[in-house]
Amino acid sequence: MRQSDDCSSQVGLIGAGRWGGNLVRVLHSLGVLGMVADTDPGARADLRARYPELKLGEDPQAVIGNDALRAVVVATPAPTHYEIAKRALLAGKDVFVEKPLALSSADAHELTSLAETKRAVLMAGHLLLYQPAIQWVKEYLASGALGELYTLHQERLKLGRVRSVENVLWSFGVHDLAVMLYLLGEAPGQVRATGQRVLQGGIEDNVHLDLWFSRGARAHLHVSWLWPEQRRRLTIVGAKGMLVYDELEATVTLHRKTVGADLRERDEGSEVLFRATGDALEAECLHFLSCVRTRRSPLSDGRSAVEVLRVIEAAQAAMSQEGVPARRPLVHASAYVDEGAEVGPGTKVWHFSHVMAGARIGRDCTLGQNVFVASGAVIGDNVRIQNNCSVYEGVVLEDDTFCGPSVVFTNVKRPRTPYPRDRATGFDRTLVKRGATLGANSTIVCGVTIGDWAFVAAGALVTRDVPPYSLVLGVPDNKVAGWVCECGAALAVAGGGATCPQCGRRYQASKAGLSPRNDHHVTKPRPGKDE
């Protein structure tokens, strides 16, 4: 038995099934496994035969309530992850949850906020991030050796194991999406997906997922459990070459192949640059133990897991629209939508507006009079942009955001006319997260992030990040002046939380701002003059 550098017998494991058995093996070999709980008598009997000295239990509470255990690893079926992880966090444990962290981004967000409140380590089991090859690829891309990134293409294909509850994207795609977001360093601005249901009525067996990113890269993921051969591969196409990571072969190959400005192909051969060795699961467990000891945030922390789940939920929503008759966007006769711009169904582009080629606008948006959307700008679904706004390259408006009349965005902090920035790499990224409201005549200086459902008052000058659900106002400090519910009502924060007086939503407070609780009761809005 190899002893970990961390103290022994500090970890309890809940769930010793198919994947849990692998965790038993690794944690036991590291000398840190203090107890295992599993409701299956057969699993416990098998563990007793292989590890006679190991303390066993039936109920998860036997692990959660064991004061001798510092941390808990959860490897139960996915629908139970949220409940068990929450109980463990409330008990003061550090928690490692096998993928997915939860079955909704809202539940995962709640777990993340709870962990931050408790100052606990929360880690999601995104195993592929701990493959040495992925870490090598991350450093290689950061060095600029591949140049500007054009496309990432991932495949995870084989015959089985078919699930009867979650579809193949939930079962296979979590690891690959975690890698995509990690390598690109951002969440996608737009998600599209198509799926095919062959074996069961309501569960996709074959899924194609397309993602658009604000810095210009695009990504594609193909997952299937109805495929004749096993394939796990990541292909990255850049300006200076192409990189292929074959997970089964554990190799990273550089293909020195490009197409020049003259459209001539250049092929200077290929070379294996990296061969992976070691056990990724052991590396993942050691990383968790190190985070428990040092109190640093894991590579696959709760916040990164939330972003992965949001992509899956967006893909699920896109697949649910398959077969629904498409609605065309409405473009006023005086407006210009350049060829190559993407405008989603149900979106309205009104008088004298201009959408440039390369801009991406989602479904059911409204662009008022004299709105300009630059190439490279990304606008999500159900976004409202009032008159006289310009959304420049580098600006990302997530779903449900609102821009009042004459909101001003910038994308260069120190503009000089003789030294123009004419490429996306010269622009600073501005992110306005879901549901945020920007009041009339507010100015958003580039490089900031406006948090979920935040409210920027009319005329405010925003020069730094705005916390979720906060109300900011003034020039130039834009200090937090209060808190605002998702429905728009003012919140009074007391006792570490707040309850909306209008809709009943509940929130908990942390250093990062407010975050929604999952146990609130929401009152349905009554029709009024604004509806």
Length, in residues, of the chain: 531
What is the arithmetic mean of pLDDT over 238-259? 95
Query: Could you give the 3-state DSSP secondary structure of residue 432?
Result: strand
- Name the DSSP letter for residue 52: T
Alpha helices (runs of H) in 30-160, residue ranges in sequence order: 41-50, 60-64, 81-90, 105-118, 132-142
CATH no. for 330-484: 2.160.10.10
Give residue 331's pLDDT.
Answer: 93
CATH no. for 11-126+282-294: 3.40.50.720
- Provide the token pair at 226: 């109805």
Reported as a single tens digit per residue, the pLDDT across 15-58 is: 998 899 999 999 999 999 999 999 989 999 999 999 999 999 99
State yes or no: pLDDT of 419 exceeds 90: no
Q: Where are the domains of the chain?
A: 11-126+282-294, 129-278+311-320, 330-484
State yes or no: pLDDT of 519 exceeds 60: no
Give residue 503's pLDDT.
Answer: 80
The CA-based angle 433-436-437, given to 5 degrees, is: 145
Which pairing describes strands 437-438 and 402-403: parallel, antiparallel, or unpaired? parallel
What is the arithmetic mean of pLDDT over 118-139? 96
Write the CA distances from 421 to 84, 390, 391, 415, integer angstroms.
51, 17, 16, 8
State yes or no: pLDDT of 523 exceeds 60: no
Nearest of 138, 133, 85, 130 to residue 109 by alpha carbon: 85
Give residue 326's pLDDT.
Answer: 57
Give residue 422's pLDDT.
Answer: 58
Same fold, 11-126+282-294 and 129-278+311-320: no
- Provide the token pair at 406: 């004459």
What is the arithmetic mean of pLDDT over 286-303? 95
Alpha helices (runs of H) in 296-387, residue ranges in sequence order: 302-320
CATH no. for 129-278+311-320: 3.30.360.10
Model confidence at 496, pLDDT cuts 50, 70, 90, reads confident
Query: Could you give the 3-state DSSP secondary structure of residue 20?
Result: helix
The CA-based angle 26-31-36, given to 5 degrees, is: 70
pTM for this one?
0.65
